[in-house]
Structure 1
Amino acid sequence: MEGKVILLVIIGTIGVMLMAFSVVFFVLLYRRKMLENQLKMHEVESRHQQEMLNATLRSQEEERNRLGTELHDGVGAMLSSIKLNLQVAKRKEGVDSLNPVLGHLDETISQVRSISHQMMPIILKKYGLKHAISDLFEKVSSNLLDSSIVHWDDPNLKEEDALMLYRIVQELLNNSIKHAEASVITFSIQRTPTELIFEYADNGKGYPHEILKNSDGMGLLNIKNRSQAIGAIPTFSNGEDRGSKVNLAIALPIG
C-alpha cells in the first residue's frame, strides 16, 4: 500500500513538473512570437519611414527640376528677349546710357542660368556623375581653393542615386566653403570586392564637437537622409590637426 502511495506521489510530481515545463515552454514560445512580431512591425515601420523619406526626396527633386526649368526656359528666355530689344534700341538710337543697364542684365541672366543649373543639373544627365562633380569643383576652384577628384572607380549608379550623391557633394562643398574655410578639398570613389566607398575630405576647421557627436546639424541631417536613400552608411570625422572627412559606404551584391 505504501509503495502505491509513493508511486502515485512520484507520478503526480512528474505530472506537475511536466505541466510546469509546458507552461514555461508556452510562455517562452509566446514571448518569442511576440518579439518576432515586434521586430516585423519595426521592420515594416522602418521600411515605411524609408519609403516616405525617399518619396519626399524624389518630390523635392521634381520640384527643383520644375522650378529650374521655369527659370531657364521662362525667366531666362524673357530676360534674353529684353536684352535683345535693348540692344536693338541702342543701335537704332545710339543711347550709350543703356550700357550699364545691359551690364546689369547680363549679370542677372548669368545668375539665373547658374541657379537653374544648380536646381536641375543638366550636365549630370548629359555627361554623367564624374563630369558633374568635376564641374562643381571647377566652379569653386581659385587661387585660394583647390578642389579635385583624386580617385574614381565608376560606381555605376542608377540615375536617381547618382543625383542623390551629386546633392550630397553639393552640400559638403557648401559646408567646406561657407563654414569650414577650407583651402583644399578632395573627393574619391573606390570599389572593393564588398563595397563602394565614397570619401570627401577638406582641410578646414572641422565639425564642431557637439554637431559631430550627434550628427544633427541641418547639413549633416540632409547628408544622412540622402545617404540612406541610396543605401549608404555615412560616417563623419575630424582630422587630428585640421579638416574633416565624410565617408559613405554602400555594400555591393555578392556574386
Structure 2
Amino acid sequence: MEEELFTSQEQIIEALVYGLIFLVLVTLGLILFFYYSRKKIIEKEIEKINIKLDYQERIHQTTIKVQEAERHRISQDLHDAISSKLNIISLTTHVLIEDQTMSTKNKEALKHILDITNKTLENSRVIAHKLMPPILDKFGLKEALEELFEEFTSNSSLKIEQNIVIDCIKKEDELHIFRIIQELINNSLVHGKATILKLDINKKGDFLKLKYEDNGIGFNTNDASKKSGIGLQNIKSRVAILNGIIEVSSTKNKGSLFSIKFRNYD
C-alpha cells in the first residue's frame, strides 16, 4: 500500500515537473514570438520611415534642380528682355536731354526718368547676378568664388582664408559646389556670427575634398540632425545630387567644420 502511494506521488511530481517544463517552454515560445513579431513591426516601421525620407529627399533634390533651371530662365529674361529695353529707354532719354529745343522743365523731368531708369537697370542686374552669376558660366568656378568672397569681405571685417585647387572640377558640378559654398558662408555669417572662414578644396585620390571651417558660435549637431534648417538641408541635398558624403562637426562657441567628399574624380 505504501509502495503504491509512493509510486503515485512520484507520478504526480513527475507530471508537475513536466507540466512546469511545458509551461516554461510555452511561455518562452510566446516571449520569443512577441519579441520577433515586435522586431519585425519595428523593422517595417523603420523601412517605411526610410522610404518616406528617401522620397522626401528625392523631391527636395528635384526641387533644387527645377529652381536652378527657373533661376537661369528668369536671369536670362531679365538680361534679354528687361535690361535691353531699359537700355533703349536710357539711350533715348539721353538723346532727348541733348535736344537744344527742349525746355529746362522738360529736361529736368527727363533727367528724373533717366535716374529712375538707371537705378532700375542696376537693380535688375543685381537680381540677375544673384539668380545666376554670369561669371560662373563665362570664367568658371574659381573666378566666381573670388567674386563671391569679395562681395562678403569688401564691406565687413570678415576674413576668408582659402586654398583652392579646382582644375579637376567637372563643369556640370560647378554650380552646385558654388551654391554649397555660398550657403555655408551665409550660414556662418547669419547664424554662426563668424568673423574668420577657412576653405580648402583639393583632390585626394579619386575624391574631390572640400573642407570648410568657421570660428562662429557653433550649434548642436544632434539637434541639427533631427531638424535641419533650410540652408543645411539644401547643402545636404546638393551634396547628395553630386553623390558626395558630408560630415558635420560643431561645438558651442568653438565654430563649425564641414568635410565634404565628392566621388568619381579619378
- TM-based fold match above 0.5: yes
- Compared CA separation, residues 252 and 72, structure 1 to 2 (3 A): same
SS at match of 1:154: coil
Structure 2 CA distance for aligned equivalents of residues 121 and 137 of structure 1: 13
The CA RMSD measured in Å over matched residues stands at 3.4
Alpha carbons 1:133, 1:166 under 8 Å: kept: yes
Structure 1 CA distance for aligned equivalents of residues 169 and 53 of structure 2: 24
Deviation at 1:124, TM superposition (A): 1.3
The equivalences for 1:1-255 within 5 A come to 54-92=61-99, 93=102, 94=104, 95-148=107-160, 150-154=162-166, 156-193=168-205, 195-207=207-219, 211-214=223-226, 216-239=228-251, 241-252=253-264
1:4 maps to what in 2? none
Deviation at 1:225, TM superposition (A): 0.5
- Compared CA separation, residues 253 and 188, structure 1 to 2 (3 A): closer
Task: Provide, for residues 28-65 of structure 1, a one-character-per-residue CA deviation record: whole Å limited to 9, x for no partner.
Answer: xxxxxxxxxx9xxxx99999877665544332221111
Percent of aligned positions with the same letter in both sequences?
31
Structure 2 CA distance for aligned equivalents of residues 253 and 188 of structure 1: 16
- Compared CA separation, residues 237 and 46, structure 1 to 2 (3 A): closer
Greater mean deviation of Cα atoms: 206-215 or 59-68: 206-215
Alpha carbons 1:134, 1:148 under 8 Å: kept: no
Task: Provide, for residues 122-149 of structure 1, a one-character-per-residue CA deviation record: whole Å limited to 9, x for no partner.
Answer: 2112211111111111122125233545
Letter in 2 for 1:86: T
Structure 1 CA distance for aligned equivalents of residues 220 and 92 of structure 2: 52
Q: Which runs of 5+ in 1 are unaligned?
A: 1-37
- Compared CA separation, residues 253 and 173, structure 1 to 2 (3 A): closer
- Compared CA separation, residues 85 and 207, structure 1 to 2 (3 A): farther
Letter in 2 for 1:243: G
Alpha carbons 1:65, 1:119 under 8 Å: kept: yes
Deviation at 1:165, TM superposition (A): 0.8
Alpha carbons 1:198, 1:249 under 8 Å: kept: yes
1:9 maps to what in 2? none
Alpha carbons 2:211, 2:259 under 8 Å: kept: yes
Alpha carbons 1:155, 1:189 under 8 Å: kept: no
| TM-score for the superposition, normalised by structure 2 | 0.67
Letter in 2 for 1:87: H
Deviation at 1:198, TM superposition (A): 0.6
Letter in 1 for 2:136: L
Deviation at 1:209, TM superposition (A): 6.0
SS at match of 1:180: coil
User: Highest CA radius of gyration, 1 or 2?
Assistant: 2
Structure 2 CA distance for aligned equivalents of residues 194 and 240 of structure 1: 34
Q: State the number of aligned residues.
A: 217
SS at match of 1:96: helix
SS at match of 2:235: helix
Q: Which runs of 5+ in 2 are unaligned?
A: 1-43, 45-49
